[in-house]
Amino acid sequence: MKNTILVVGSVALDSVKTIHGSTIRSLGGSAVHFSLSASQFSPVKLVGVVGEDFPAPFRRFLTRRNICLEGIQVMPGKTFHWKGKYDRDFKNAITIATELNVFQHFKPKLNAGHSECGVLFLANIDPDLQRKVLDQMGKPRLVACDTMNYWISLKKPSLLKLLKKVDMLFVNEEECRQLTGEYNLIKAARLIMKMGPRSIIVKRGDAGAMMFYKDNVLSVPAHPIERVVDPTGAGDTFAGGFMGYLAAAPDWKNFDVIRRAMSYGTVMSSFSVEDFSVKRVGGLSRPEISARYNKYVKALAIK
């Protein structure tokens, strides 16, 4: 199971409005966006919690995409629901309502099959929970995590304890600067690497992404998209494509492998914004992914 990814995070119902329309209580959540992207490359096991209102068709849909749902807890009550909107420039999500519901009582519990997974991705949840998940694992060959400004502000000491135990950290520009107090991204990433992670992935939205690994710094642009419909979950989709490709590789520590993973993450993210919810990524075929990847890396001269 060294190539199987265990992801622990939120499973949600999202209601989103943009200039192109709206969607009500559609499938969402960080672990879902990640899993649908990663499962294009590697087997995925998902640990999360939903309420009794979670639609059965959504569960069947995820199962068909090579995602194991044995770790999904069903609790009395309603599923985590996020409601938001985007302005015309799609720069920032405007939260209208956040209904945590059963997610506020989420306590991840792993079974034997989960703890034996070779790759662990801790999606954006409380760092105390992230550390408890890691404590239940065997000896994964790769551990990565995501976080957000809320946890940096509220639970920085706990997050710092976690960072000592992970190989990779995914953050955006604001979070990178908030965690270190350093405005320059290169200096900030170097400071974070001293906290524990071997590699830092900085998500920069429509500006692309940066990767810091050992003495290497790589900046890749976003794939141009003519019509952005819904950017919700694009960062999680990027992480899924990135981690999915790494999990399938014999040696994730090879810089060329990480560089290709950056490109796959970028390509998967570009698909995700083309429709609401998970409609675009959930219906992708490998030939579609390969075609866009080949076009993207040809433009960048990446082999």
Domain spans of the chain, in order of start? 5-300
Mean pLDDT, the chain, rounded, equals 95
At residue 275, φ and ψ (nearest 5 deg) are: -155, 170
pLDDT more than 90, % of the chain? 91
302 band by pLDDT with thresholds 50, 70 and 90: low
52: CB partners within 8 A, 6+ apart: 74, 75, 76, 77, 78
295: CB partners within 8 A, 6+ apart: none
68 band by pLDDT with thresholds 50, 70 and 90: very high
At residue 274, φ and ψ (nearest 5 deg) are: -80, -10
What is the rounded average pLDDT of the residues 186-195? 96
Half-sphere CA count of 10, side-chain side, radius 13 A:
26
Note the pLDDT tens digit of each residue in 23-67: 999 999 999 999 999 999 999 999 999 999 999 999 999 999 989
Classified by CATH at the fold level, domain 5-300 comes out as: UDP-N-acetylmuramoyl-L-alanine:D-glutamate ligase (3.40.1190)
Half-sphere CA count of 259, side-chain side, radius 13 A:
13
Given a contact cutoff of 8 angstroms between Cβ atoms, the answer to whether 296 and 266 are in contact is: yes
pLDDT more than 70, % of the chain? 99
The kind and range of the H/E element at 84 are strand 81-86
What is the rounded average pLDDT of the residues 76-80? 97
d(CA 81, CA 12): 6
Q: What is the per-residue pLDDT for 201? A: 97
Q: What is the per-residue pLDDT for 115? A: 95
Question: Is the pTM value of this prediction over 0.85?
Answer: yes
pLDDT at 138 exceeding the cut of 70 = yes
pLDDT at 303 exceeding the cut of 70 = no
197 band by pLDDT with thresholds 50, 70 and 90: very high
Count Cβ atoms within 10 A of the Cβ of residue 251 and give its class: 0-12 exposed, 13-18 middle, 19 or more buried: exposed
Q: What is the per-residue pLDDT for 91? A: 80
Q: What is the per-residue pLDDT for 278? A: 97
